[in-house]
Amino acid sequence: MKVTFPYMGTTVVYKKLLEMLGHDVILPPKPTRTTINLGVKYSPEFACFPLKVIMGSYFEAIQKGAEVIVTSGGNGPCRAGFYERVHQRILESEGYDVDFIVFDSMFRDPKTFFRNIKKLRDRTPWIQVMKSLLLIYDMIGKLDNLEKKVQCIRAYEKNRGETSRIWEKIQYDFDQAFSFASMKKAFKLGKEKLNSVPIHHIEEEEQIRIGIVGEIYVVMEDSINMKMEQVLNSLGAEVERSQYLSQWVTYNMLPKWMNWTHENAVLKKGEPYIPILIGGHAKQSVGQIVDYGQRKFDGVVHLMPFGCLPELVSQSIIPKISEDYNIPVLTISLDEQTGIANNQTRIEAFVDLVRGKRKQRLNGKTKLSRNKREHCCSSS
C-alpha cells in the first residue's frame, strides 16, 4: 500500500515503522507556506490550525501518490478525534478517494487497535511486527534523548546553524539504521557529533532555560510554530519541550493501572488548577507550567492553535499559575496569519524579561544554589 501520515516532529519514526511493515511510504513534505495555503483553502475557516495544516499535507501526499492515510485519533475528547471525518469528507468532495486507518490508544479501544495493526501488517509475519515495534520504540527514545541535547547546545553554538545541520544528519543516520546494533551506533555517533560542536562559554547566571508547553501538534512541529525552539535558542536560551514522542507513546500505550509516566505526574500537578481532563492538552499544559516552575525554569512559552478550545481554558488560568510560581509565561497563538515578523519582537522582549528576572533573583541570593539544576550540556 502507498501509505502516508500527518507530518509531526521527527517523522523518520513513522516512516520507518511503516517501511518495516512492508509499505511504500509517501513521506509528506514538511509543511510549507504552500501546504498551509492549501489546507486553509479547503478547511472550515474556524477549524483548528493543526487540522488545516494536516489537510494541506494530505493533499500534497495524495498528489505524490498516497492511497492510504494512517493517523492517530487524538487525545481526549477534543476535535482531533473528529479530524479524520472532516478530512475524509473534504477529500471526498474534491474527488479523492483515500482510505483512513485511525489509531487510538491500544487500551482505550483495543479492538480497533488490533484490527488496524492487522490491516497494516499485511503479509508481514507477526514476529517481525513485534520486532519492528520494539525497534521503533527504542529509536524514539534515542532520538528524543539526542534532541534534548540539541535544544540545549544550540543556545551556545559558536557557528550559527551548525547544531541544526548536525541534527538533520543524525536523523538521516537513524533513517538508515534497521537493527538494534546500528541504532546503537547511530546514537553513539550522534552524541559524539553533538559534543564536538564548538560552544561559547556562558556564565552560570547568564544561562536561561525556557520551557515550551501547549497543544501537542504546534509544540512538536516546528514548521508551523515559527521554529520556536530555534528562535529561543538563537536568543541564547536553552529550551525544553513539554512533549516528546517517546513520552507520548509510552503514556498512550500503557494501561491506566501501571501508568507511572512523566505525563501522569504532570497531570497531577495540573490538578489544583483544572481538576479533570477537559480535552486536548489543557491539563498537561497547566501541569507542565507548574513543573517548570518547580524545577526553577526561567520562563515558559505557551503555544496554542488560534481558538483552540482547551488551551483557551489554560490561557485563562495561566496568569494565576505564573503568579503562584513566579515564572513568566508568554502565550502565542498560531494560525495561518501568524508570522515570525510580528512575533519576533514579542519573543525578544520576553527573553529579555526572563533574563532580567533571573538576574534579580540571583542577586537576591548571596550564593548560587544551583547545584540541583542539571544542564544537559554538561551532563552526559
Partner 1 sequence: MKIGIPQALLYHYYYPFWKTYFDSLEIETIISSPTNKRIMDQGVKYSVPEMCVPIKVYLGHVLELVDKGADYIFVPRFVSIQKGQFFCPKFMGLPDIIRHSFPEMEPIMISPYIESTTDDLATSIKQYQVFEEKFGISRRDNRKALKNAESVWKSFREYSLRGYDISEAAALSMNDGHKTLKQRKSEVKERFETPEVTIGVLGYVYNIYDSVISLDILNRLKEMGVKVRTFEMIDDDVLKEQLSSIPKTLFWTFSDKLFAAGNHFYHDSEIDGIIHVTAFGCGPDSMLGKLLELDSTKHEKPFMTLRIDEHSGENHLQTRVEAFVDMLKRKKRKVKRGALA
By the rule CB under 8 A, 65 interacts with partner 1: no
Query: Per DSSP, which regions of 160-236 are E strands?
Result: 208-214
Stretch that binds ligand SF4, among 127-135, 246-254, 301-309, 347-355 (CB under 6 A): 301-309
Among the listed residues 376, 368, 355, 209, the one whose alpha carbon sits nearest the alpha carbon of residue 295: 209
Q: How far is the CB of 51 from partner 1 (least distance, A)?
A: 8
Give the DSSP H/E element, type plus range, for residue 146: helix 126-153
Assess 313 for contact with partner 1 (CB under 8 A).
yes
Q: Are 69 and 4 in contact (CB under 8 A)?
A: yes
Binding segment for partner 1 (CB under 8 A), chosen from 142-150, 160-168, 172-180, 276-284, is 276-284
Residues 305-344 that bind ligand SF4 (CB under 6 A): 305, 308-311
- For residues 284 and 95, give the distance between their C-alpha atoms in angstroms, rounded to a whole number: 39
In our burial notation (b when 16+ CB lie closer than 10 A, e otherwise), range 342-354 reads: ebeeebeebbeeb
Q: What is the DSSP string of 101-135?
A: EEE--TTTSHHHHHHHHHHHHTTS-HHHHHHHHHH
Distance CA 243, CA 259 (A): 16
Number of shown-chain residues binding ligand SF4 (CB under 6 A) = 12
With CB under 8 A as the contact rule, the residue among 38, 47, 135, 136 that binds partner 1 is 47
Nearer to partner 1, 48 or 166 (CB): 48
Partner from ligand SF4, partner 1, none contacting 50, C-beta within 5 to 8 A by type? ligand SF4
Interface residue with partner 1, options 308, 327, 332, 351 (CB under 8 A): 308
Q: Which residues pair with 25 in a beta bridge?
A: 3
Question: Does 235 help bind partner 1 (rule: CB under 8 A)?
Answer: no
Contact footprint for partner 1 (CB under 8 A): 43-48, 77-79, 81-82, 84-86, 89-90, 93, 273-276, 278-280, 282, 306-310, 312-313, 315-317, 319-321, 333
